[in-house]
Chains A and B, each alone.
Chain A
Amino acid sequence: MADNKKNPKSPRVPMPEQPAEERSHNFNEVTLGYTYEMALEEAGRCLQCKKPLCQSGCPVEIDIKSFIGHLAEGDIPEAYKVIKNTNALPAVCGRVCPQEVQCEGSCILGKKGEPIAIGRLERFVADTFTADSACEMLTGDVACSLPNDHLKVACIGSGPSSLTVAGYLAARGVPVTIFEALHEFGGVLVYGIPEFRLPKEIVAKEISALWTKGVKFMPNWVGGRTITIQDLIDDGYDAIFIGVGAGLPWFLNIPGENLVGVYSANEYLTRINLGRAYDFPNYDTPAPHPRNVAVIGGGNVAMDAARTALRLGAENVYITYRRTMGEMPARAEELHHAEEEGVKFQLLTSPMSINGDENGRVKSMTLQVMELGEPDDSGRCRPVPVKGETSELDVDMVILAVGTGANPILLEATPDLDLTKWGYIKADPETGETSIKNVFAGGDIVSGSATVISAMGAGRKAAKEIAARLGV
């Protein structure tokens, strides 16, 4: 029997994980999740603050205090209901949110010691239920009815923002149809984030829960090509949500970028994750098997690509980043995991050129040595080249994880849509509405590359507005 007493001074319960030397050779999930006892012990550290700061840090407004309170009392179903009430994808968020800068970043316990492991607790609660039963759990019905079947809403893209919109509206009885360009649903959750960080099974369960609630999923429908916004308006959709992400990979425009062996992180991860290329030839999509890999960038995507390359048998994997560890945008946990698994960090270096052999294949990369200068507008120290100092790195593959821009397909097909000067969709920050009436947008296609949870936050705002307009 777990001790239910509040114990804020005890240390944060560590997360069980696969040992680094073992996990760097498989695609199984790195972190194994709390047991019931661990979850109760960790929940018991929560102070149940009168004015909980954690909640203001959560983009989807989870009632964190309440869910942890129920959990500490051992009432997991009630904790699940609280979370699921505002978050359509708790098992996902518990795994991939940057908690250290959101909920946990605001936790009062963090001032002196370690904050509550809110993400881990959210994951525990979500994992305790198969998401298939979510509908029953929340409403008492096995299949949710759609009482408002005179209404219809369309979502373009099936990533986290659209799934949130669908979850919110389906819970209010509105039929939602999600159009997805790829053959699998989940957007970045399936093509971008590797299995060892977010198992496909988890995403599939959350999607199946939405399906049980009556959400319709249409694969292979490309927004802007197979179906346009105007088609949907003509078809009588009451509201349309655009959540197509920002998927166009950026390149650096340095010499050698089109050599064989140079990949965008998007291509590399899509091959491995969506195409299951790690299981070639059981699956048909081929993957490269280099020995020495350089990944350019310092975000989560760079860490994902680097750790994937290790798992596919690369001997040396380098992260080349133009600042230092302290400025890296990746989640603290991912950085830590990458280091443990043996990813090498080439800090304060910036690629100048990628060099090829006579067959057009990558053989090395030339790096400019950098140093940190004065802080720039973002408040981070600006990397400045150290004149004349370069280094050479022998690599047979280079992965560019330097960001993505707005994909042009839907935007070109929708000339009435106002865009920002960076080419993203202009949307009202309060409602998510675009320049076209009743057409909403959210997630990376509005904000530029951001996080799963911020996309979900945008989806939630838009869904609330849509629900209000539809009177549900």
Chain B
Amino acid sequence: MENKIVVKKSLIPGQTSMLVIDAPQIARKAKPGNFVILRVHDKGERIPLTIADTDPEKGTITIVYLVVGKSSAMLETLKEGDCIPDVCGPLGKPTHIEKSGTVICVGGGTGIAAMHHIAKGHHQAGNHVVAIVGARSKDLLLFCDELGCFCPELLIATDDGTHGHKGFVTDILKERLEKDKDVSEVVAIGPVPMMEAVANVTRPFGVKTTVSLNSIMVDGIGMCGACRCSVGGETRFACVDGPEFDGHKVDFNELKMRLSQYKDQERTSLELFRKDHG
């Protein structure tokens, strides 16, 4: 199966890119919340990436990635017209979307891309979507134009104050929840500390909070259990039971510990790759 890169766009030079990939069989089935597993080369690792958008008619899916380790660094070397050897999906349970009123979608970093697909789903279901996006600085914000097209409210926070509110997405979220008692759901996707902070902010308001867990995965189809996480005291597999769970019930400390288990090897891999590729 050839999965050609149809479009490549650098969103944050050297750091975050967007790929539109030819994958008709996946585009036909993918829903918001789904992810794919890629292998970038023959000796590559299987890496999960959330689907940021699909175009079933053109047969393409969109993914956005942050260059963190060897696999994403190699992905970054591919150009338009190149093929990715393995793209498998759609995986995971789709986001539960129903018409429920006002939904706040919070996205941080590359998580904004995944959040975009979910926000779009909520918009299409007839919900009033409030998007809150955050990054360290103005240049690191993603998908603001796209979100602006269908979100009546787009609220922005930057750590350095170069755009929107100076501070965290949680500041804006709290303010918004205090003002509006009728929010039916908060969805948060981004770095683990951000999702944890969001869950902590929404807890006293009692508003349903969904987070998308980026656990380590191997097969992504429920066979290995690498992605297991504790939710409400029960072990769940992020790949088949999730990746979305009730943020108020997730054991974030355990998730952080499990996410760091291959740090040393990941560093070795990346260093070797950098040495070979300048």
Interface residues of chain A, those whose CB is within 8 Å of chain B, are: 181-183, 191, 218-222, 225-227, 247-249, 251, 253, 257-258, 260-261, 263-264, 266-267, 270-271, 274-276, 280-288, 359-360, 407-409
- Verify if B162 is at the interface (C-beta below 8 Å from A): no
Chain A residue numbers with a CB within 8 Å of B29 are 225-226
**Known interface pairs A191-B219, A260-B260, A360-B257; 6 further A-B residue pairs with C-beta atoms within 8 A, sorted by A's residue number:** A182-B88, A225-B90, A260-B261, A270-B218, A281-B272, A286-B266
The 8 closest A-B pairs by CB, nearest first: A286-B265, A267-B224, A360-B257, A247-B223, A220-B88, A284-B45, A264-B225, A183-B86
- In the complex the two chains form, what is the Cα distance from A82 to B89 in whole Å? 41
Which residues 14-61 in B have Cβ within 8 Å of A in the complex? 25-26, 29, 39, 43-46
A405 CA to B71 CA, complexed, in Å: 31
Partner of B240, one of A271, A284, A409: A409
- With an 8 A cutoff between CB atoms, is B70 at the interface? yes
Contacting A275 at CB < 8 Å: which of B46, B222, B253?
Answer: B46
A264-B239 Cα distance, complex, nearest whole Å: 15
CB distance from B259 to the nearest CB of A (A): 10
Q: Provide the residues of chain A in CB contact with B86, threshold 8 Å.
A: 183, 219-220
Task: Looking at the assembled complex, report how far the CB atom of B243 sits from the nearest CB atom of chain A, in whole angstroms.
Answer: 14
B85 near A: Cβ within 8 Å?
yes
Instruction: Give the segment of B4-12, B153-161, B182-190, B228-236 that binds chain A.
Output: B228-236
Cβ contact within 8 Å between A264 and B224: yes
**CB pair A286 B1 closer than 8 Å:** no
Q: Do B85 and A249 have beta carbons less than 8 Å apart?
A: no
**B200 contacts chain A at the CB level, 8 A cutoff:** no
What is the minimal beta-carbon distance from A402 to any residue of chain B, in angstroms? 12
Chain B: CB-nearest residue to A228: B29
Chain B 83-107: CB-based contact to A (< 8 A → 1; otherwise 0) = 0011111110000000000000000
Cβ distance A401 to chain B, nearest Cβ, rounded Å: 12
Q: Is the CB of B87 within 8 A of A220?
A: yes
Q: Is the CB of B89 within 8 A of A226?
A: yes
Please tell me which one of the listed residues A182, A218, A257, A282 contacts residue B219 in the complex, with CB atoms under 8 A apart. A182
Write the nearest CB–CB distance from A406 to chain B, whole angstroms: 10
Residue of A nearest to B271 (CB): A281
Are A270 and B223 neighbours in the complex by a CB distance under 8 Å? yes
Evaluate contact between B258 and A271: CB separation under 8 angstroms. Answer: no
Task: Give the CA-CA distance A408 to B268 in the complex, in Å.
Answer: 36
| Chain B interface residue bracket vs A | 35 or more
**Once the chains bind, are A282 and B43 in contact (CB under 8 Å)?**
yes
User: What residues of A have a CB within 8 angstroms of the CB of B265 in the complex?
Assistant: 280-281, 286-287
Contact of A408 among B71, B222, B225, B228 (CB under 8 A): B222
B226 touches A (CB below 8 Å): yes
Against A, the Cβ 8 Å flags (1 = close, 0 = not) of B190-231 are 000000000000000000000000000011011111101110
What are 29 pairs between A and B in contact, CB < 8 Å?
A181-B221, A182-B219, A183-B85, A183-B86, A218-B1, A226-B89, A227-B25, A247-B222, A247-B223, A249-B224, A257-B235, A258-B230, A260-B260, A264-B224, A264-B226, A270-B219, A270-B223, A274-B218, A281-B269, A283-B43, A284-B45, A284-B70, A284-B71, A285-B218, A286-B45, A286-B265, A286-B266, A407-B240, A408-B240
Asked if residues A226 and B26 are in contact (CB atoms below 8 Å), the reply is yes
Chain B residues in 8 Å Cβ range of A258: 228-230, 235, 254, 258
Q: Is the CB of A266 within 8 A of B43?
A: no
Q: Is the CB of B88 within 8 A of A183?
A: yes
Contacts of A249 in B (CB 8 A): 223-225
Which single residue of chain A is at the shortest CB-CB distance from B92?
A225
Given A226-B89, A284-B71, A248:B258 Cβ within 8 A? no
- Provide the residues of chain A in CB contact with B260, threshold 8 Å: 260
Q: Which residues of B contact A221 (CB under 8 A)?
A: 25, 88
Q: Which residues of chain B are within 8 angstroms of A220 by Cβ–Cβ distance?
A: 1, 86-89
CA distance A285 to B40 in the complex (A): 12
CA distance A98 to B218 in the complex (A): 29
Q: Given the known A-B contacts A222-B88, A226-B89, are A267 and B257 also in contact in the complex, defined by CB atoms under 8 Å?
A: no
Q: Does A251 lie within 8 Å of B225, measured CB to CB?
A: yes
Residues of chain A contacted by B230 (CB below 8 angstroms): 258
Of the candidates A182, A263, A284, A286, the one whose C-beta lies within 8 Å of that of B44 is A284
- Bound form: Cα–Cα A360–B255 in Å: 11
A219 and B218 form a contact (CB under 8 A): no
- Taking CB atoms, residues of chain B closer than 8 Å to A261 are 261
Residues on B with beta carbons closer than 8 Å to the beta carbon of A359: 257
Complex: how many Å from CA A221 to CA B260? 30
Looking at the complex, which one of B26, B222, B225, B229 makes contact with A409 (CB distance below 8 Å)?
Answer: B222
**Residues of A contacting B226 in the complex (Cβ-Cβ under 8 angstroms):** 263-264, 267
Q: A275 touching B235 by the CB < 8 A rule?
A: no
A260 to chain B, nearest CB (A): 5
Closest to A223 in B: B221
Complex Cα gap A280–B43 (Å) = 10
- Distance in angstroms from B229 CB to nearest chain A CB is 7
Contact B269 A248 (CB under 8 A): no
Q: How far is the CB of B264 from chain A (nearest CB, A)?
A: 8
Q: How far is the CB of A248 from chain B (nearest CB, A)?
A: 5
A residues in contact with B269, CB < 8 Å:
280-281, 284, 286
- Chain A residue nearest to B227 in the complex (CB): A267
Note all chain A residues with C-beta closer than 8 A to B89: 220, 222, 225-226
- Assembled-state Cα–Cα distance A225/B35 (Å): 11
Residues from chain B with a CB closer than 8 A to the CB of A260 are 257-258, 260-261
Q: Please state if A360 and B266 are interface contacts (CB–CB under 8 Å).
A: no
